[in-house]
Amino acid sequence: MKTSAKRWATTTVTLLAASALASACGGGKPAAPAQTAGQDSAKQSAAQEQSGGKQDSSGKAVTLTFWNGFTGPDRPGYENLVKQFNDTHPNMKVTIDISPWDSLLAKLPTSLATGQGPDLAAFDSSLITKYAKSNLILPLDDLYSNGVDQNVLPKSLVSAMKYNNKFYAVPANNATLLLYYNKDLFKAAGLDPNKPPSTWDEWMDAIRKTTKTNGSDKQYGIALADHATIPMWPILVWGNGGNFVSDDNKSSRMTDPKTQEAIKTWSDLVIAGGVSPTNLTGAEADKLFQSGKAAMEMNGPWATGGYTQAGLNYDVAPIPAGPAGKVTLASTVALVAGKNTKNKDAVYEFMKFWVSKDAQAQLSGQTGFPPVRTDLGDDPKLKQNPFVPKFADVANDAKYYLPGLEQYDKIDSDVIVPAIQAITNKKASVDAALKDADKKLNDILQGKN
């Protein structure tokens, strides 16, 4: 008994002493690059060994830290790109730290605001306004005038990278949504699996035909997620010519007749037609489509890998055009420069590399995301993945959800999601829910909340 307790105590002391020693040694090494004085050089050398034993014999390598949330199956694609940068730039070294977006976004603003934080960071482009307005990230106009050509980016992407007419980011990736449809379920419902719907009328018809509301073999025409998801309802609103906020971001358009009509049409389909479950998350919608319980889904390029692996007989097509024409959602992760970086040149070098033709072709080929530039034409790397060109094709029809709004999160989570859920849960009529949302949204836009 006693001896085992002693052994435990000894182990603890040894462990503690060892860790203390390790950190003490780290602090004493002169090779630590100046700009990361707060960090432990022992760890850095360990990291170097891991990334393939690259030699920085001069000891003058500039080290950049890069925080992002590229978890999941795409992670190797991003890691490889960073590794490639390190291999081709012997005087620079980027250490990538990947953690889930929610914990990353909890500490990133605090770190930057208190004078620390990474040299490079990535987050959803909707956050640029917040960070730029608080001066936590650097303006990049000089990068765009020398090194990055804005004309090669899709047009909607260019404005998504700006705040107050100044560039604050380069695109780290670019995604558009397409209509995924299950060919087997189309066939079973008497629809032509090689002719996906192209207008709203055809679409609604296909949705109704593939919906089975009766007991045991229940099936949904479409899996329409409303929260914790890539936004899907906005596409329906835009397709009808409606929107949530005015183009100048000054007033609400929740009670605009076109917005109202779109929400009424689709919520009627959901409530009365039972074409989709309500209160669905993105992950749940994906599960329904993957298990053949839903015939269609709007989704981004990330889903193809899993569906193909599951042996699903499916294809993708542009979202059917509504009364107001073709439209889809664009979603972009932005690459930004932390305001406390001491190596702006190296940061620029990395950004230039990231959006370069080669890097984009490689990233796109590996992750299945469309490239962030439109001039890659028929690079063979893009064709490795047959879906990539289809997602790239709709880039010019794609719009961003609530672009340029500082209160993006609040508007989405406190106004729009609750309004749609109130309607689909039959807690309020379309009129009442949207009127209430209209008031709340105007309050937020006018800074009353």
Partner 1 sequence: MNIARKRTSVMNRQKRAAFWFLLPSMSILALFVFWPIADLFWLSFHRWSLLDANHAYAGLANYVKLVHDERFWNAVVRTVYFTAGSVPVGIVLSLALALLANEPLKGMSAFKAIYFLPVISSFAIISIIWSFLLDPDIGLLSYWLKAAGFPASAWLRSTTWAMPAVIAVAIWKNVGFNMVILLAGLQSISASLYEAAKIDGAGALQRFWSVTLPALRQTLLFVVIISVIASFQVFDQVYVMTRGGPLNSTETVVYYIYHHGFELLDMGYASAIAWVLFVVVFLITLLQLRLFRFNETD
Partner 2 sequence: MRLSVWRAAQYALLLAAAAAIAFPFIWMVLTSLKPEGEIVRFPPALFPSDWTLDAYVQVWKRIPFLLFFKNSVVFACGVTLISLAFDSMAAYAFARLAFPGKHALFVLVLIALMIPVQVTMIPLFIMLNDWGWIDTYAALIVPRATNAFGIFMLRQFFVGLPKELDEAARIDGCSEFRLYWQIVLPLAKPAVASLAVFHLMYNWNDLLWPLIITNSQEMRTLPAGLALFMGQHVVEYGILTAGAAIATAPLVAAFLSAQKYFVQGVAFTGLKE
Residue that is written with structure tokens 């679409």 in the block: 203
User: Considering the rule CB under 8 A, would residue 23 count as an interface residue with partner 1?
Assistant: no
Scanning 41-49, 135-143, 158-166, 407-415 for contacts with partner 2 by CB under 8 A, the matching segment is 41-49
Of the candidate residues 114, 151, 165, 194, the single one contacting partner 2 (CB under 8 A):
114
Cβ proximity to partner 1: between 363 and 444 the closer is 444
Nearest to 71 by CA among 80, 63, 83, 79: 79
Binding residues for partner 1 restricted to 405-424, rule: CB under 8 A? 409-410, 413-414, 418, 421-422
Is 447 a binder of partner 1 (CB under 8 A)? no
Q: Determine if 279 is a binding residue for partner 1 (CB under 8 A).
A: yes
Report how many residues bind partner 2 under the rule CB under 8 A.
55
Residue 251 interaction partner, one of partner 2, partner 1, none, beta carbon < 5-8 Å per kind: none
Angle, vertex CA 13, rays to CA 9 and CA 18, nearest 5: 150
Rounded-to-integer distance, Cα 250 and Cα 242, Å: 16
Residue 315's H or E segment, with its range, is strand 314-317
Rounded Cα distance between 286 and 5, Å, is 52
* Angle separating helix axes 200-210 and 257-271, nearest 10 degrees: 20
**Shorter beta-carbon distance to partner 1: residue 19 or 425:** 425
- CA end-to-end span of the chain: 63
> Is 16 one of the binding residues for partner 2 (CB under 8 A)?
yes
The yes or no reply on residue 275 touching partner 1 (CB under 8 A) is no
Closest to partner 2 by CB, 76 or 323: 76
Radius of gyration from C-alpha coordinates of the chain: 25
Separation between Cα atoms, residue 385 and residue 443, nearest integer Å: 46
Question: What is the DSSP annotation of 7-50?
Answer: HHHHHHHHHHHHHHHHHHHHHH-TTS-GGGTTS-HHHHHHHHHH
The values of phi and psi at residue 396, to 5°, are -80, -10
Does the protein bind partner 1 through residue 288 (CB under 8 A)? yes
Select 4 or 57, whichever has its Cβ closest to partner 2: 4
Using the rule CB under 8 A, which residue among 88, 291, 313, 413 binds partner 2? 291
Cβ proximity to partner 1, 154 vs 277, nearer residue: 277
Closest CA to 61 of 34, 39, 83, 79: 34
Query: What is the contact mask toward partner 1 in residues 362 to 401, using x (rule: CB under 8 A)?
Result: ----------------------------------------
Binder among 28, 53, 115, 380 for partner 1 (CB under 8 A): 115
Compute the distance between CA of residue 314 and CA of residue 438 in angstroms, rounded to an integer.
39
Question: Segment contacting partner 1 (CB under 8 A): 3-11, 106-114, 263-271, 308-316?
Answer: 106-114
Per partner kind, with CB cut-offs from 5 to 8 A, the member of partner 1, partner 2, none near residue 19 is: partner 2
Q: What does the angle CA 201 – CA 203 – CA 204 come to, to the nearest 5 degrees? A: 70
Which one-letter DSSP state was computed for residue 245? B
Q: Applying CB under 8 A, what is the total number of residues that bind partner 1? A: 37
Give the H or E element holding residue 143: helix 141-145
Task: Answer for the pair 392, 174: CB distance below 8 angstroms, yes or no.
Answer: no
Choose among 158, 201, 46, 139: nearest CA to 338.
139
Strands, sheet with 328-331, edge to edge from the N-terminal-most edge strand:
175-176, 328-331, 398-399
Task: Using CB under 8 A, pick the residue from 291, 308, 384, 429 that binds partner 1.
Answer: 291
Contacting range for partner 2; rule: CB under 8 A; set: 14-22, 188-196, 200-208, 238-246: 14-22
Query: Per CB under 8 A, which of residues 64..103 are in contact with partner 1?
Result: 102
Which of 10, 14, 91, 110 is the binder for partner 2 (CB under 8 A)?
Answer: 110
CA dihedral of 247, 333, 104, 351, whole degrees rounded to 10: -120
The nearest distance, CB 201 to partner 2, in angstroms, is 30
Instruction: Choose the contact partner of 73 out of partner 2, partner 1, none; CB within 5 to 8 A by kind.
Output: partner 2
Residue 325 interacts, among partner 1, partner 2, none and using kind-specific CB cut-offs from 5 to 8 Å, with none
Q: Which amino acid is at 148?
A: V
Binding site for partner 2 (CB under 8 A): 8, 12, 15-16, 19-20, 23, 38-40, 43, 46-47, 50, 65, 67, 69, 71-76, 95-101, 103, 106-107, 110-111, 114, 116, 118, 230, 282-283, 286-287, 290-293, 300, 302-303, 305-306, 309-311
Binding site for partner 1 (CB under 8 A): 102, 105-106, 109-110, 113-115, 130-131, 133-134, 136, 218, 220, 227-228, 277-281, 283-284, 287-288, 291, 293, 409-410, 413-414, 418, 421-422, 425, 427
